[in-house]
Amino acid sequence: MNQLDSHNSLGSALLGRSFVHPLFDYLLIGGALSLMATVFALSNPDYLDISEAAAVPLFVLLSNSSHFAASTVRLYTKPGANKALPFLTMLFPLVTIAVVTFCLFDPTQSGRHINSFYLTWSPYHYAAQAYGLAVMYSYRSGCILGKTDKRLLWWVCMPAFFLTFFFRPAVGMEWLMPDVWASTTAGAEAFFDATQFSLTVLAFVAPVALFVKLWRSKSGPMPVISLMAIVSNAVWWCVLSPRHAFVWATIFHGIQYLAIVTIFHVKDQVARPENRRGWVFHSISFYAMCIALGYALFQCVPLAYVFAGFGHVESMLIIAAAINLHHFIVDAYIWRLKPTDGNRKIVDSVTQTAEPAAAS
Amino acid sequence: MGSTSLLRGCRWPRMDGAHRCEMGETLGMETRDAIYRGSFWLAVALTVAATGVGIYESIVIQGRPPGLEILYRDYLVDLIDEGKTDDDVYERALSEMQMVVDIDLTQRVIMLGSIADYAEITGDREVEIEALRELAAHNEIGEPKRYNNLATALIDSWSETHDANLVNESIKYSSLAINMFKALPAPEKLEFAKSHCNLGAAYVLLRDHRNAVVHFQEALKLDPTLIQAQQGLAYLMQGQPPQ
């Protein structure tokens, strides 16, 4: 009987504590859906290049554009964020608009750099999100991460970013010092090939090694969903070609982000003393706001700059870059898990599906 | 304490230093809050106005609110299409494509290739050469066919300028194309033949008839129907000028 209990507790520790339902959490937040889609696309290469598919623009609005908007909507709906982050909530939007306008006056220099900057930052942002999710589910599932473990966890999320930073065209080193980097890589091709290969292997082996280490340590096992979030990020950046990686990672990262941010938003809203609405209302209204803001920012605002006399291409590119950067910066603040932050209460809360359901 | 500087120039009734500082900080905070609030609402107003203007602009241009477009893709496709028949639009399309090259480094190679293809279709040799040269300079040509196109465009350009450098450059790119074709497991014979033919034509212009014959013959081995190679060889063997 004791053995059965210990099996059960090990099983639930590995499964982790989900926010909604294990199936929902693993598929959307853990990245299982993206792993399945990637395996399918890799075995049917015709489906790999989806950028030309007719439904993609709609899909991009529903996942990608709305996920960028979601961080802004979350920033202004998160209880206490206005007080805690006055610069970010009040002044930063105007700073972003000023930067966009400045870059549009000098698109070939400033525009190029802001665009490359965001493309370089993107893989880091995705890796950091994988790290954040892994920590979040570990906390939630009772896996106590010490300082060293957290540091190790951060490092095991990074090989995918380093691979992109050092070896992918047009971003990272190739953007920062194109001539020097081109001559360096040409001179030591074998060394750089070996490094690329090592980083790719590391992106998959290191998370598993850490998983095993934690399992055998006092902290107890990290839930599989944490491992899966890191591995799916590695799959996007290390297995797919750079062009496909940007498209696939963009869509699945967006889905992952929307799922987790909606959960946090709903939990915050239903916990308000004056709340009278259920989780369905808060989920739908939050998502609707994200879609509307995403549509306005990506599809409408660039055309206002066209109306003002700027070119179509530079307006689209520079505004997209600025929205990305705004999102990355906002995210660095709204996902903090300090014990004093409201997020931590949500992560630590015990109730799962019952909580939002009861509120509705 | 920086906030007290906001009070410089203000006249205060007699107060001790600490009280003055406290009031100064309060006023400084209030000023800061006012600035923050003002800039927030300004940003909101600008975003709402820009959204409205964007919708208006789209209705004026396309007769409908903005559709779902991934960045500039549909806009550029339409512009390129329209530019095939309208010179002004062609210039605008080229300048927008060049803007993609300049800003989005991830699309640079693809877009330079598109510029070269577009210029080839519209017969804009200068633009085609410029785009392909830029790709070649960074070793980004990718496929031997593009080297062929560049070599052909350079020879065509020679007929206007009679600049021998263009011929030498053409030889360089045809040779690179041949090397690339040789490395392929199953090279496309017609394009491979074209590389030899270009090389033959370039040697004719340099009056190196021996090499020219060799390459025209190679071209005809790969594609016996290649008219330019037939004419080149006929010119060299029988003195019949090529058409």
B92-135 per-position pLDDT tens digit = 999 999 999 999 988 889 999 999 999 988 888 899 999 999 99
pLDDT at B223 over 70: yes
Interval A157-185 mean pLDDT = 87
In a domain, A281, yes or no: yes
Tell me chain B's radius of gyration from C-alpha atoms.
32
Closest CB to B39 among A90, A112, A306:
A90
In a domain, B62, yes or no: yes
Residue B170's domain is classified under what CATH number? 1.25.40.10
User: Which whole-number Å values give the CA distances from B93 to B7, B45, B59, B63, B72, in the listed order?
Assistant: 55, 33, 21, 21, 12
Residues 295-314 of A with CB under 8 A from B: 295-297, 299-307, 311-314
* pTM reported for the whole predicted model: 0.84
Closest CB to B104 among A303, A305, A317:
A317
pLDDT at A222 over 70: yes
Residue B12 confidence class, pLDDT cut points 50, 70, 90: very low
- In the 8-state DSSP scheme, what is residue B13? -
In a domain, B174, yes or no: yes
Residue of B nearest to A243 (CA): B106
Q: State whether B132 and B177 are in the same domain.
A: no
In a domain, A164, yes or no: yes
pLDDT at B141 over 70: yes
pLDDT for the residue numbered B11: 45
DSSP string, A261-307: HHHHHHHHHHTSTT--S-HHHHHHHHHHHHHHHHHIIIIIHHHHHHH
* Chosen domain end from B10, B40, B66: B66
In a domain, B13, yes or no: no
Q: Is B2 exposed, middle or buried (0-12, 13-18, 19+ CB in 10 A)?
A: exposed
Inter-residue contact A216 to A20 (CB < 8 Å): no
ipTM of the complex: 0.84
Q: What share of chain B is helix, strand, coil (3-state, %, to 5)?
A: 80, 0, 20
A219's tokens: 């902290």
For A33: left if phi > 0, alpha if psi spans -120 to 50, otherwise beta; the answer is alpha
pLDDT at A1 over 60: no
Closest by CA to B149, choosing from B128, B172, B122, is B128
Q: Which of A68, A76, A90, A289 has the most B C-beta neighbours within 10 Å, making it the best mutation to test the interface with B?
A: A90
CB atoms within 10 A of CB B96: 20
Q: State whether B78 and B132 are in the same domain.
A: yes
Cβ–Cβ of A303/B36 closer than 8 Å?
A: no
For B184: left if phi > 0, alpha if psi spans -120 to 50, otherwise beta; the answer is beta
B50-102 per-position pLDDT tens digit = 999 999 999 998 899 998 887 788 888 899 999 888 888 999 999 999 999 99
Cβ–Cβ of A89/B40 closer than 8 Å?
A: yes
How big is chain A, counted in residues? 360
Q: State whether B57 and B108 are in the same domain.
A: no
* Chosen domain end from B66, B84, B111: B66
Q: State whether B146 and B239 are in the same domain.
A: yes
- C-alpha to C-alpha distance for B20 and A332, rounded to whole angstroms: 38
Q: State whether B146 and B136 are in the same domain.
A: no
Residue of B nearest to A298 (CA): B71
Q: State whether B114 and B170 are in the same domain.
A: no
Residue of A nearest to B68 (CA): A57
Cβ–Cβ of A304/B49 closer than 8 Å?
A: yes
Q: Does A54 touch chain B (CB under 8 A)?
A: no
Q: State whether B128 and B152 are in the same domain.
A: no
pLDDT for the residue numbered A289: 97
In a domain, B209, yes or no: yes
Q: List residues of chain B with CB under 8 Å from any CB of chain A.
A: 33, 35-37, 39-40, 42-44, 46-47, 49-58, 65-72, 75-76, 95-96, 99-100, 102-106, 108
In a domain, B127, yes or no: yes
Q: How many domains does chain A have?
A: 1
Write out chain B residues lying below 8 Å of A115, CB-based: 103-105
pLDDT at B14 over 60: no
Residue of B nearest to A174 (CA): B105
In a domain, A1, yes or no: no
Q: Is A131 exposed, middle or buried (0-12, 13-18, 19+ CB in 10 A)?
A: buried
Closest by CA to B199, choosing from B223, B216, B185, B179, is B216
Give the range of the structural domain holding residue A295, as residue numbers without chain letter. 19-359
Tell me chain A's radius of gyration from C-alpha atoms.
21
Residue of B nearest to A64 (CA): B70
In a domain, A34, yes or no: yes
Q: Is A238 exposed, middle or buried (0-12, 13-18, 19+ CB in 10 A)?
A: buried
Write out chain A residues lying below 8 Å of B51, CB-based: 296, 300-301, 304
In a domain, B6, yes or no: no
Q: Does A108 touch chain B (CB under 8 A)?
A: yes
Q: Which of A176, A177, A303, A315 has the most B C-beta neighbours within 10 Å, making it the best mutation to test the interface with B?
A: A303
In a domain, A5, yes or no: no
Looking at CA atoms only, how far is residue B117 from chain A in angstroms? 19
A278-327 per-position pLDDT tens digit = 999 999 999 999 999 999 999 999 999 999 999 999 999 999 999 999 99
Cβ–Cβ of B102/A56 closer than 8 Å?
A: no
B89's tokens: 């639009």
* Chosen domain end from B140, B162, B195: B140
Q: State whether B152 and B215 are in the same domain.
A: yes
Q: What separation, in Å, do the N-terminal and C-terminal C-alpha atoms of chain A show? A: 39
Share of chain A above pLDDT 90, in %: 62
Cβ–Cβ of A97/B47 closer than 8 Å?
A: yes
Q: State whether B146 and B243 are in the same domain.
A: yes
Looking at CA atoms only, how far is residue B52 from chain A in angstroms? 8
In a domain, B129, yes or no: yes
Q: How many domains does chain B have?
A: 3
Closest CB to A97 among B35, B46, B103:
B46
Q: State whether B243 and B147 are in the same domain.
A: yes
Q: State whether B184 and B207 are in the same domain.
A: yes
Q: What separation, in Å, do the N-terminal and C-terminal C-alpha atoms of chain B show? A: 86
Give the range of the structural domain holding residue B105, as residue numbers without chain letter. 68-140
